[in-house]
Amino acid sequence: MQIEGTSCSRFWANQFRVLMTAAAYVLMQELRLRLAGTEYARAQVSTLRLRLLKIAVHVVVSARRIVLHFPQAFPDQASLHRLALNLGAQSG
């Protein structure tokens, strides 16, 4: 018998799904906290995903760092830059 609202009939599969959902929620709350003072401080998860996380970038990986090259026409560049610095990224 499958419990309503779960995707699998196995207990551990459902527990893992609940754990991942809780982790995603905590991460999004942390993003909002780090974006205090911006227009995204109270944004919905879908807005954060669309405007700050789902961005096409060119990734360059070297032995010391990972560099993300954003499009020049990226409209939310200032907010994402502030978020990255708040999360510990180095500028330059």
Interval 23-40 mean pLDDT: 89
> Residue 4 above 60 pLDDT?
no
pLDDT band at 37 (very low <50, low <70, confident <90, very high): confident
pLDDT at 22: 93
Average pLDDT, the chain: 85
Query: What length is written for the chain?
Result: 92
**What does the block give as tokens for 82?**
């502030």
Q: Where do the structural domains in the chain lie, given as residue ranges?
A: 11-86
Q: For 46-88, write each residue's pLDDT tens digit.
A: 998 898 888 889 999 999 888 888 888 888 888 888 888 888 8
Percentage of the chain with pLDDT > 90?
20
Residues contacting residue 13 through CB under 8 Å, at least 6 positions apart: 7
Q: Please list the helix, strand and coil fractions of the chain in percent, rounded to the nearest 5, in that order.
A: 45, 10, 45
pLDDT at 61: 95
- Contact (Cβ atoms closer than 8 angstroms) between residue 79 and residue 52: yes
